[in-house]
């Protein structure tokens, strides 16, 4: 059953909401059973479906849920849990899940790799189920035509590995972290060390398959250019369930050069970080140098903070040889003092391992792992810088790194410029283009359990965010949707959210593109079935509950 009339959908949805509003534990149990029966009814093969559906009574439920949780903040006893987890292996099973979820008044959360910073792919405060795409991870690379089809449940690492097995001179501009899922990352933009040369992952998508609110499987032609525009940077979870992407691969040389140079405050890190702001977005398009700020113990007896200092690590990839790289850096950033012995030449896939933090003796096959070696509690935020941060601004930041909560904190500065300056703000929903020097990722990790510990660390990063306000973009203070941050605004938990309320967070992520996203949403999902705390809202009164 792939198609249902619009009026039948309205009837089913309104009835299911009426029934669920007075839910009890027994009602939830009955609803689970009814939902599961519905899934069997609408799936092509009920026997195979039964092996892919997990309720709380299933012995594998907890392990399936926890496998892709990448933030321990959302793995506590008080965290809301899905009533059902569906791990589809066929498109028909996703279609059935959408139909049955509407019928039984459940929200859907779609999980690809589980890296949503606020856990929105697997957590909800209202009754919900998870569609976990882990079994939909096939990749087909066409090296001759420089394209690939990749299913939404695949990880970035799996994609990189598949490309490397077909070509030594093709790559793709996506994430550094190999366990990130392509379904979520590409739909929010997606970037890495190839961004200044080739733009975002979303800039290099040429087709897609999505299942819409009516259970229809649509490709680019069938969905139309408005919806195809929206899912490339506007967050796919607002519009349906993305099944796969067709991507345009990019050329990389057979030899690239990487380096990682660290400088502490005692080694003039403040001056170097400031100088980086003056040149990072103006460097050759083939060169990306990012900065990672963190605190560490100091060996300097002159350090005013005793044993602590701040270290700036300049991490880079250059699409070329070391002999080509050194003159470029010496011309534009001689203060860094980069030497030939600081650099290593390697293949592009080896640079993926190096920049991803893998050891030099590991095989590219390690990219096939879906799980990280360690998972922590964390909170993240983001900013964009349009004017160089002065040295005085950096000096005021350093004391925050000496506080207890900053032990495992990072600030990561990713440079813009290059190809990012050339793509218009409205080309796709991701609007952060010309005029940006860099994006900042603020992130704080901790290892201890407990609400008090979590609150202390989240308050710390909020104070950092507050301190940075004079030095970052304004009107709006822009943010990156893939670094989800519910502090900047949320939708109503149930039902209708006004354009005005959603604009509080929507304009930060999407700027003027937010208006077009809302109109696309209103057209393709007028009743706002696909929703979460920061989903694109529908304008129609029918969306009100």
Strand-pairing partners, residue 377, are 446
For residues 107 and 94, what is the distance between their CA atoms, to the nearest angstrom?
14
Q: What is the distance between the alpha carbons of residues 15 and 428, in angstroms, rounded to a whole number?
A: 37
Determine which helix (DSSP H) or strand (DSSP E) holds 412, and give its type and residue range. Answer: strand 409-415
Would you say 428 and 229 are in contact if contact means Cβ atoms under 8 Å apart?
yes
CB under 8 Å to 470, separation ≥6 — which residues? 393
Cis bond upstream, residue 80 (ω within 30): no
Q: In angstroms, rounded to a whole number, what is the distance separating the alpha carbons of residues 481 and 463?
A: 21
Instruction: Check 483, 496, 499, 509 and give the catalytic one.
Output: 483
Sign of the torsion formed by the C-alpha atoms of 367, 370, 372 and 376: positive
Count of CB atoms within 10 A of residue 394's CB? 20
By the 8 A CB rule, do 69 and 375 touch? yes
By C-alpha distance, which of 312, 307, 277, 308 is closest to 294? 312
- Least Cα distance to 415 among 282, 511, 261 occurs for 282
Give CA–CA dist 407/430, Å, rounded: 32
Burial code (b: 16+ CB inside 10 Å, e: under 16) for 314-351 equals bbbbbbbebebbbebbeebbeebebeeebbebbbbbbb
Helix 91-103 × helix 6-20 angle, to 10°: 60
Whether 483 is catalytic is: yes
CB atoms closer than 10 angstroms to residue 290: 22
**CB-CB contact of 258 with 322 (8 Å):** no
Active site (catalytic) residues: 483
């Amino acid at each position: 059953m792939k198609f249902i009339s619009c009026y039948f959908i309205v009837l089913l949805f309104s009835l299911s909401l009426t029934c669920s509003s007075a839910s009890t534990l027994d009602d939830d149990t009955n609803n689970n059973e009814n939902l599961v029966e519905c899934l069997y009814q609408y799936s092509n093969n009920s026997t195979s479906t039964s092996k892919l559906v997990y309720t709380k009574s299933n012995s594998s439920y907890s392990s399936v849920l926890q496998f892709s949780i990448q933030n321990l903040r959302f793995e506590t006893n008080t965290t809301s849990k899905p009533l059902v987890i569906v791990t589809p292996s066929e498109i028909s099973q996703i279609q059935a899940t959408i139909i049955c979820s509407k019928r039984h008044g459940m929200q859907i959360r779609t999980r690809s790799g589980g890296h949503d910073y606020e856990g929105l792919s697997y957590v909800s405060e209202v009754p919900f189920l998870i569609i976990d795409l882990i079994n939909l991870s096939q990749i087909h690379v066409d090296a001759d035509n420089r394209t690939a089809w990749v299913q939404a449940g695949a990880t970035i690492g799996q994609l990189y590995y598949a490309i490397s097995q077909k070509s030594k001179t093709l790559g793709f501009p996506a994430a550094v972290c190999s366990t990130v899922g392509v379904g979520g990352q590409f739909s929010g933009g997606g970037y890495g060390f190839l961004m200044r040369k080739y733009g975002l992952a979303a800039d290099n998508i040429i087709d897609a398959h999505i299942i819409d609110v009516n259970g229809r499987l649509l490709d680019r032609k069938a969905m139309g250019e408005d919806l195809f525009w929206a899912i490339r940077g506007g967050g796919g979870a607002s519009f349906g369930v993305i099944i796969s992407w067709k991507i345009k691969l990019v050329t990389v040389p057979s030899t690239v050069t990487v380096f990682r140079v660290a400088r502490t405050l005692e080694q003039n890190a403040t001056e170097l970080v400031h100088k980086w702001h003056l040149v990072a977005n103006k460097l050759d398009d083939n060169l990306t140098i990012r900065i990672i700020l963190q605190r560490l113990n100091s060996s300097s007896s002159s350090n005013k903070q005793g044993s602590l200092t701040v270290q700036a690590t300049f991490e880079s990839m250059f699409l070329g040889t070391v002999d080509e790289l050194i003159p470029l850096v010496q011309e534009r950033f001689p203060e860094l003092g980069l030497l030939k012995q600081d650099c290593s030449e390697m293949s592009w896939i080896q640079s993926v391992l190096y920049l991803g933090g893998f050891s030099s003796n590991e095989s590219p096959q390690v990219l096939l792992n879906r799980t990280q070696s360690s998972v922590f509690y964390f909170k993240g935020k983001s900013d964009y810088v349009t004017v160089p941060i002065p040295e005085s601004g950096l000096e005021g930041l350093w004391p925050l790194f000496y506080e207890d909560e900053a032990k495992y904190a990072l600030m990561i500065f990713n440079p813009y410029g290059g190809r990012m300056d050339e793509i218009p703000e409205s080309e796709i929903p991701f609007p952060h283009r010309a005029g940006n020097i860099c994006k900042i990722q603020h992130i704080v990790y901790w290892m201890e359990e407990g609400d008090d510990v979590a609150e202390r660390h989240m308050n710390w990063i909020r104070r950092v965010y507050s301190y940075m306000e004079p030095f970052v973009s304004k009107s709006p203070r822009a943010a990156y949707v893939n670094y989800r941050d519910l502090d900047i605004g949320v939708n109503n938990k149930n039902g209708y959210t006004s354009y005005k309320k959603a604009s509080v967070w929507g304009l930060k992520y999407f700027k003027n593109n937010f208006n077009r996203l809302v109109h696309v949403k209103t057209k393709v999902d007028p009743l706002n079935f696909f929703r979460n705390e920061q989903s694109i809202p529908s304008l129609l009164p029918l969306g009100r509950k």
